[in-house]
Structure 1
Amino acid sequence: MFFQRAKTQMPAAGQALPGRAQALPTAERHVVNGERLAGPWPEGTRTALFGFGCFWGAERKFWQAGPGIVVTAVGYAGGQTPNPTYEEVCSGLTGHNEVVLVAYDPARIAYEDLLRIFWESHDPTQGMRQGNDVGTQYRSGIYVADAAQRAAAERSREAYGRALAERGYGPVTTEIVDAPPFYYAEEYHQQYLARNPGGYCGLGGTGVACQTGLDLAAGPNSAT
């Protein structure tokens, strides 16, 4: 019980694991589309970063989004430990979240469309868990690259929170913070469900539709 409680609390300053200076080895190319995971990508490509449960299923949501997605990759962000391993993240002693990096072409898919996928693919009211997956690495988070992404993310959180409340859900616990360093996860995690089609995916949405793309696309600060 103590270990589980510890895993649902962010480590205090000085408690995080030390990590390492060198990045972990990872895949060079995306299993599904062959693009380089770390670039270089086509000119004009932008990036977005999301965490919403086990990153295996979360990543698949985005690579299946169709035209406009340049590449996706899974990794760790939002904690204190540099270049952590998966086992270290699962210990609850890094503070990192399991996240998905999405490189996208804003001329073909809008940031608001990515937000819709994010909101509709999980329950953002569960705190440090997602379904049966419990721990700080399963928290709901949007890690924004600039002011336009922050404005769009905050508007969408407010709007989706109202929609959830109307259906009896509690407050949204999603954190929205400036994008921290992103550490690529080990090779076997990249596009895991493409390599293992029958693999585990614990993600489940609320069934509440998100109107983010429609509501925000015309806004003065639309993040495209």
Structure 2
Amino acid sequence: MFSYRRTPELPTPEQALKGRPTPQFDLPSRHTVLGNPLAGPYPAHLEVADFGLGCFWGAERIFWQTPGVWTTLVGYQGGSTQNPSYEEVCSGGTGHTEVVRVVFDPAVLPYESLLKVFWESHDPTQGFRQGNDVGTQYRSAAYTHSPAHQAVAEASRDAYQQELTASRYGAITTAVLPAADRPFWPAEPYHQQYLDKNPAGYCGIGGTGVSCPIGVAKPPSTDA
């Protein structure tokens, strides 16, 4: 991964690169670790969530290692350019952030618990950067696929903000927005499950060490 060392600034839709009407590649058919299809349609009992938390190489590995996740794929979201390339996204000219699409079984992994993984795996207070990675493509985002997910994501953000404030962190900068108006564009095949193919590859993901209270099961009652 790389970033351009300049002051990050999101382009307006009018300023954004135009992109192209069709993708320039075909996605691999299956996940190299989980073995399930990358592209939908997915089985009806599964749900989808999209998360941006910095470099998507390391972020994707965190999610595919989480029990209850059925498949993952990386891509670009939140910008204006159609079918952007990695180089275009890294230029800052598309407005996209790097994201991981997480397809999960809510009977095994409730969305609240998935959000806990998301919040604790990065620092959501850093704006257009994550650690040493600087650029609009590294901003934090949670793109939701239902009104119920939107409400839970907003509640988790507010609850985590209280914990971060108590630990002397600043304001959360994460965009928590519906995915419906923010198309997901899959990244190039070599980015998919990158750290499975390159185990010693770069991973710039790191959390704050502050626990998120959302998704933690309540202890059983001790009342007689």
Aligned residue identity for 1:134 = V
**How far is 1:33 from its partner?**
1.6
- Change in CA separation of 1:35 and 1:24 when aligned onto 2, cut-off 3 Å: farther
- Segments of 4+ moved more than 4 angstroms: none
| CA distance in 2 between partners of 1:169 and 1:37 (Å) | 36
Quick check: 1:119 aligned with 2:122? no
**How far is 1:113 from its partner?**
1.0
| CA distance in 2 between partners of 1:12 and 1:201 (Å) | 30
Quick check: 1:79–1:96 contact (8 Å CA) kept in 2? yes
Aligned residue identity for 1:97 = T
Quick check: 1:199 aligned with 2:201? yes
Report the counterpart of residue 214 of structure 1 in structure 2: 216
TM-score by length of 1: 0.91
Quick check: 2:5–2:134 contact (8 Å CA) kept in 1? no
* 1:162-173 matched pairs, under 5 angstroms: 162-173=162-173
**How far is 1:115 from its partner?**
0.3
- Change in CA separation of 1:84 and 1:110 when aligned onto 2, cut-off 3 Å: same
**Secondary structure of the structure 1 residue equivalent to 2:75:** strand
**Secondary structure of the structure 1 residue equivalent to 2:215:** helix
- Change in CA separation of 1:3 and 1:196 when aligned onto 2, cut-off 3 Å: closer
- Change in CA separation of 1:17 and 1:155 when aligned onto 2, cut-off 3 Å: same
| CA distance in 2 between partners of 1:9 and 1:182 (Å) | 21
Report the counterpart of residue 83 of structure 1 in structure 2: 83
* 1:134-149 matched pairs, under 5 angstroms: 134-149=134-149
**Secondary structure of the structure 1 residue equivalent to 2:216:** helix
Structure 1 unpaired stretches of 5+? 217-224
* 1:60-98 deviation line (CA, Å, top 9, x unaligned): 1100002x2110000000000000000000000000010
| CA distance in 1 between partners of 2:113 and 2:77 (Å) | 22
Quick check: 1:30 aligned with 2:31? yes
Quick check: 2:53–2:140 contact (8 Å CA) kept in 1? yes
**How far is 1:43 from its partner?**
2.5
* 1:139-164 deviation line (CA, Å, top 9, x unaligned): 00010111111111111101101100
| CA distance in 2 between partners of 1:123 and 1:11 (Å) | 24
**How far is 1:3 from its partner?**
6.5
| CA distance in 1 between partners of 2:35 and 2:167 (Å) | 41
Report the counterpart of residue 190 of structure 1 in structure 2: 192
Report the counterpart of residue 45 of structure 1 in structure 2: 46
Q: Which structure has greater helix proportion?
A: 1
Quick check: 1:51–1:138 contact (8 Å CA) kept in 2? yes
Q: Which moved more, 1:8-17 or 1:122-131?
A: 8-17
Report the counterpart of residue 11 of structure 2 in structure 1: 11
Quick check: 1:27–1:186 contact (8 Å CA) kept in 2? no
TM-score by length of 2: 0.91
Q: Percent identity?
A: 57
**How far is 1:107 from its partner?**
1.1
Aligned residue identity for 1:41 = Y
